Structure formats: C-alpha cells, structure tokens
Structure 1
Amino acid sequence: MPIRNQIATIVQTLAGNPSFIYGTAGELNALADDAAFPGVFLYPLQNIEIKPAVNGSVDNSFSIYLEFLFKTEFGQYTADNETYVNQALQLANQFMIKASNYREDNGRYFRVKTGEKAKCVPVYNKFDVNTTGIGLTLTLSAMYSPDIV
C-alpha cells in the first residue's frame, strides 16, 4: 500500500476531521478550490534514502512535506491569521504523535526518530482559495512494509 494511503489514514484520525489532499503544487491548487477545510495537503515524496543494515534488512527513510491549512478571507493581515497558524501547529503535532504510533497489522509502520528535527514554517495566503496554516517537513522511516511508494 502506498505511503500516501498510510498518511491519509493518520490524517483521518486528527481532531477536527481535516480533509486529505495529495498531489503536485499545481494539482493541489486546483483541488483546493473544492476542498473542505481544514485540510492536510501532501506533496509527492521528497528524498527517499535506502540504508542496508548488517543483518540483511533495509531501512527506508523518506521526507514528506505536508501543509495543514485553514481557509481564510482575502485581505486579512498576518496578525489576523495567527489563530489559524496555531491551530495548524496543533494538528501537525498530533500528526507526528499519531504517525509514530501508527500500526498496521501487528507492527508499527513508521518510526519518527527521537532527536530528528521536523521543520515547520507558517504559510500565508496559499492557493487561489486563500488559506493559512503551517508547512511541515518530516523524515519518517518505514518499518513494516517493503512497498513504500
């Protein structure tokens, strides 16, 4: 099963029941026009690092970029949107916790390495529908499935 499906499953468990949208930047901009908000927007996988281990196993680490966005009004100032940034940050924190605990069958699916920093930046006036929130870059390791994309 593709990683995006696992991430979509995690998103469905977040508070506020955000919608999940996947695609390239252009696709996401078009899909945002009809999306329900809040929404979690997943861009295609970034770097995939394959590390063979001494015991014969292989560790697959990959970077994901997600945006946790709320619909906002045109013409609002940055200060007016701080509430949305804070709410989006809470969703991103929930996502990280749930991703590290996500199980499929009898095993954990992802590993979020302790000490690994996730990068989070505010996002303002994104897409044609005008959204605000945060962008999260996170490195995950697939622990369970050999099929990562």
Structure 2
Amino acid sequence: MRNQIEAIVQTLTGSPSFVYGTQTELNTLADDATFPCVFMYPLQPIDLSPQVNGSVDNTFTIYLEFLFKTDFGQYTADNETYITQALQLANQFIVKASTYREGEGRYFRIKAGNKAKCVPVYNKFDVNTTGIGLTITLATMYFDVF
C-alpha cells in the first residue's frame, strides 16, 4: 500500500518528496526531507469485508500530511498560502488515486459520496512546517479468492 501511495505522490505537481513512518520517526526524518513533502503515517484501521463470491474487499483509512517548510516566528495568517497550495496537492492526490493503475486495472476505488477530511496543520515538526492533513478511505480493487 505504501508503495502505491508513494507512486501517486511522485506524480503530483511539483514532485513533492515522500516520507513514511510514525509520528516520532517523521519528526526525525523531516529534518532531512526536501519540501514540499507528503508525510504518510502508518495505516489506520483496515476493514476486511468477505463477499459472497469468496473474495475479500480491503478498505484502508490513510492519513497524509501535505507540508511546506516555513520560517520560525511566522504567524498563522502568514502561512495561509501554504494551506491553499497543500489543499491543491490533496485534491490532486484524490483524483490521481482514483485513476491509479497497476497492471490491468485501477488499484483503488474511491466511492462517490465518501468524504475525505482535511485539517490545517501549522508549525508541525522541529523543522517548522505548514500544510494540511488528509484522512481518506481507499478500497483496493484487486481481490483474492481462496
């Protein structure tokens, strides 16, 4: 899953870098990251739904932060342009995730009507970053029959 998310991130405008890890790991990795950067936290709940045809659908909730490096001492109002830019990246990510292909077909299914939630993120990590946090649920299109 992480590899597919990273592949999508690499196609976003500006080619943001990608970092994966826990909160503590990300704080350390942010020191050497190139910005803008997308930070992916470990997968949230993974829902397994057995289907009548013997397959199992997997649904993942992911949390990503689209962050830009900011200067120390800036006020929140000074960082609003970064929030707007990060929101544009998040929108691009959602569109590209819904059309991402691996092999013969689409990898993810994003159901119409499912809401992705974004929250502004200010002064995150020791390097001081600002952007948005995106929580979205992705369903994989592939399945296994046992």
The TM-score bracket by the shorter chain reads: over 0.9
1:46 maps to 44
- The offset of 1:57, in angstroms, is 1.6
2:125 maps to 127
Equivalenced residues, count:
144
Q: Does 1:84 align with 2:90?
A: no
Gaps of 5+ in 2: none
2:26 maps to 28
Identity %: 76
- Cα deviation per residue 1:80-105 (whole Å; 9 max; x = unaligned)? 00000000000000000000000001
- The offset of 1:145, in angstroms, is 5.8
2:8 maps to 10
Amino acid at match of 2:112: T
Contact 1:40 1:69 (8 Å CA) reproduced: yes
- The offset of 1:78, in angstroms, is 0.5
CA RMSD of aligned residues (A): 0.8
- The offset of 1:144, in angstroms, is 2.0
Of 136, 142, 145 in structure 2, the residue corresponding to residue 138 of structure 1 is 136
Once residues 120 and 11 of structure 1 are traced to their aligned partners in structure 2, the CA distance between those partners, rounded to angstroms, is 17
Once residues 114 and 52 of structure 2 are traced to their aligned partners in structure 1, the CA distance between those partners, rounded to angstroms, is 23
Once residues 118 and 108 of structure 1 are traced to their aligned partners in structure 2, the CA distance between those partners, rounded to angstroms, is 19
Once residues 128 and 25 of structure 1 are traced to their aligned partners in structure 2, the CA distance between those partners, rounded to angstroms, is 12
1:98 maps to 96
Once residues 18 and 34 of structure 1 are traced to their aligned partners in structure 2, the CA distance between those partners, rounded to angstroms, is 14
Once residues 103 and 127 of structure 1 are traced to their aligned partners in structure 2, the CA distance between those partners, rounded to angstroms, is 33
SS in 1 for 2:42: coil
Judge which range, 23-32 or 51-60, deviates more: 51-60
Of 104, 107, 118 in structure 1, the residue corresponding to residue 116 of structure 2 is 118
SS in 2 for 1:44: coil
Once residues 115 and 109 of structure 2 are traced to their aligned partners in structure 1, the CA distance between those partners, rounded to angstroms, is 13
- Name segments (4+ residues, structure 1) moved above 2 Å: none
- Cα deviation per residue 1:45-80 (whole Å; 9 max; x = unaligned)? 000000011122211001000000000000100100
Once residues 145 and 94 of structure 1 are traced to their aligned partners in structure 2, the CA distance between those partners, rounded to angstroms, is 26
SS in 2 for 1:56: coil
Gaps of 5+ in 1: none
Once residues 143 and 132 of structure 2 are traced to their aligned partners in structure 1, the CA distance between those partners, rounded to angstroms, is 29
